Chain A
Amino acid sequence: MGGFASDTFLAALLFGAVTAAIPLLLAGLGEQMSEKAGVLNIGIEGMMITGAYLGFVSAYYSGSFWLGFLTGAAGGVAVAALMALLCVRIGLNQIVIGIALTLGLEGLTALLHHFQFSRSYPRLPAAEVTPIPLLADIPVLGSALFRHHLIVYLAVAMVVVMIWVYRRTQFGINLQAAGDKPAALDVAGIDVIRTRTAAVLFTGGMAGLGGAYLANVGAGLFIPFITNGAGFLGIVLAMLARGQPVWVLVGALVFGGCLSMTTAAQVAGVNIPTDVIQMLPFLAVMAMLVLFGRRASLPAALGIPYERGAR
């Protein structure tokens, strides 16, 4: 039975919130590592759109969502390698290169789509879900939160992995030093360029995976500009999170939840202008910024290319 506040409707809303949050979570976690290492990765939107395009093409022709995710992540890594070469190795301006990559890749993927799919607009079947035993049977919440594609659970698990990496591994400590005091890291005998390059490549992989998820699971298709600014939201979430992965997860869920709230308000016939309702997710992010972002401390060397011996 349908209707506002019905189980089906509430489950669809919550399911949609999670689906909207996952690309932001993946992109935000990736961007967070890049920023920790001192690289402001503005090109993440370009990495996402590349991942979305390649992920869709791969899944469409192979019939495998997993191959799509893998290809999408690889595409993101490829773009990130270019970013690392230009910004980390050569030391060009990170913002300029990031914007150029984003604009260029949006145009390129739109062009490729035009030649390949603009007459057919192929779409993928619904993604297979992996229900979590027992939890998936809970009314409303079960079908909304515990009946997703396996990649969703892996994305959430990545939060724990990232916490472990940052707190318990030498690589995590190196990342922090590469962003705060790269010269000190260099003196300690750790290669700053290599550390930053690894961080940027990881960002590309996560952003590409996020793009592939957005296209293959979120939309089930690829169209030009499909990421619609999700990469930039990932940057915002990474900055708000103050280096803590769990806050990226919270921010992504708040944003996804607010998107679903806007739909709920409209379906409920809330008689206020649509524009006001549509502001809700962005107001929530700004509120988070005011409440939690004041004490945010970005790495001291963020955005500054490292050059040994330079003052």
Chain B
Amino acid sequence: MTVLIKRSMLAALAATFMAGSAIAAEVKSIAILTPQEGTDFGWNQQGIDAAKAAAKAAGIEVTVASGLGYGDVRPTLREIAADGASLIIAHASGYATSAPEIAEETQVPVAIVDSPKALKAGLVADYTLSGHEGAYLAGRVAAKMSRSKHVGIVVSGEPPSWNSQSAGFAQGVKAENPDVKITYAVIGPAAYSDAAGGRRVTESVIGAGADIIFGQGNGSSFGMLQAVETSKAADGGKVLFIDVIGDKTSVGKGHLLSSVVWDITPVYSAMIKDLKDGTFGTKRYAISLADNSVKLLKTDQIPDNVWGEAQKIREQMISGEIKLQPVFEATAVRALMTNVSAAAAK
């Protein structure tokens, strides 16, 4: 009986070792699929740039399929899998259903966003990223700088990544000054390319009294930028804009206050490493202030003293003195807008 148990345990250990070996893989190339071209100063551009950087660092090939839209990308996924990609990064929440299906079909690992429950060892990883720490810092800066003590948040949709940033921004504002009013408005359901809607809604929020706009919108964010450039605040002064993910300094025309800039390179590098180690699909990936994968953009619009104070807050967040939990649900975000507890982030 004892011999039998020992043999069984040895067999189990051997099976575990062999299984681990089977999952671990040689990584020759990665591919990234994006809904829009990689020139949006935002989500698509950061994703493509990061994939190229991670591939270069790992010494592997990268394939970019951009501008695929939000429709069915299964044919593209199959084609890329057939071309021999070791990992396919499906860089849009709209691809989170089709990509795992193709992963099952082709056995090529995929990385998806906004589906944290879809993890599957060796096959499906999720990288629902949250820049909430950076958004919190942006909120602190906005509250310090708002002349009207009224700021706005305008979004063109409510995916989890943006919800967490909207919540982070609101918490930052209230932590800095509980008396600052926050107005939150959604342009429309998945209005990512609705630039006219972005402008219209932003102008209304400015009309309601906001003089700093925190905007999340992909293409529609250019409409928001247009609104802040062509509108006056209630005091007749300049309206400022805080962007997310990318750096629009070169097109900001002096109205860009800051941006919560993401660097997704460490995330993709970690995925490549996990594929090699055989641990892909067993954990989620994150970006943070600590490794500079999330950071607040310094522009000429931010006075040095405000920037210095923001950096001190950043240090407090990294050290754990200020703790912040991401909020991903839209209903929870909406509740925060009218009743944000400053204590929650202190």
A: residues with CB less than 8 A from B are 1-4, 6, 8-13, 15-16, 19-20, 23, 110, 114, 118-121, 123, 125-126, 214-215, 218-221, 223-226, 228, 259-260, 262-264, 266-267, 269, 271, 273-275, 277-278
Contacts and interface: CB of A to CB of B under 8 A. Distances in A.
Contacts of A110: 37, 67
B13 to A, nearest CB: 51
Contact of B193 (A4, A19, A228, A263): A228
A273 B331 contact: yes
A13 B148 CA distance: 20
Contacts of A259: 188, 197, 200
A219 B114 CA distance: 29
Contact of B207 (A2, A118, A126): A2
A8 B198 CA distance: 18
B39 interface: yes
B337 to A, nearest CB: 7
A3 B208 contact: yes
Interface residues of B, number: 51
Contacts of B53: none
A123 B251 CA distance: 9
Residue from the set A121, A126, A225 with the largest chain B CB neighbour count within 10 Å: A121
B176 interface: no
B193 A2 contact: no
Interface stretch (B25-33, B179-187, B269-277): B179-187
B219 interface: yes
Which applies to chain B's interface (DSSP): helix, strand, loop or mixed? helix
Given A218-B199, A260-B204, A278-B188, 5 more contacts: A2-B150, A2-B206, A6-B209, A260-B200, A269-B337
Contacts of B206: 2, 12
Nearest to B338: A269
Interface string B202-241: 0111111110000000011011011001100010000000
Contacts of B203: 12, 15-16
Interface string B99-138: 0000000000000000000000000000000000000000
Interface string B162-202: 00000000000000000000011110110101111111110
A63 to B, nearest CB: 16
B196 A274 contact: no
A262 B225 CA distance: 21
Contacts of A226: 193-196, 219
B251 A120 contact: yes
Nearest to B196: A218
18 contacts: A3-B208, A3-B209, A16-B200, A23-B196, A118-B37, A123-B225, A123-B253, A218-B200, A221-B223, A223-B193, A228-B193, A263-B185, A263-B200, A266-B186, A271-B338, A273-B331, A274-B186, A275-B189
Contacts of A215: 196
Nearest to A282: B189
A214 B198 CA distance: 12
Nearest to A264: B204
B283 interface: no
A125 B191 CA distance: 23
A107 to B, nearest CB: 8
A185 B281 CA distance: 68
Given A16-B200, A114-B37, A274-B158, A125 B230 contact: yes
Contacts of B144: none
Contacts of B41: 121
Nearest to A225: B193
7 closest Cβ pairs, A-B complex: A2-B209, A12-B207, A118-B39, A218-B196, A219-B195, A2-B234, A16-B200
Contact of A221 (B40, B200, B226): B226
Contacts of B148: 2
B179 to A, nearest CB: 14
Given A119-B39, A225-B193, A273 B207 contact: no
A127 to B, nearest CB: 9
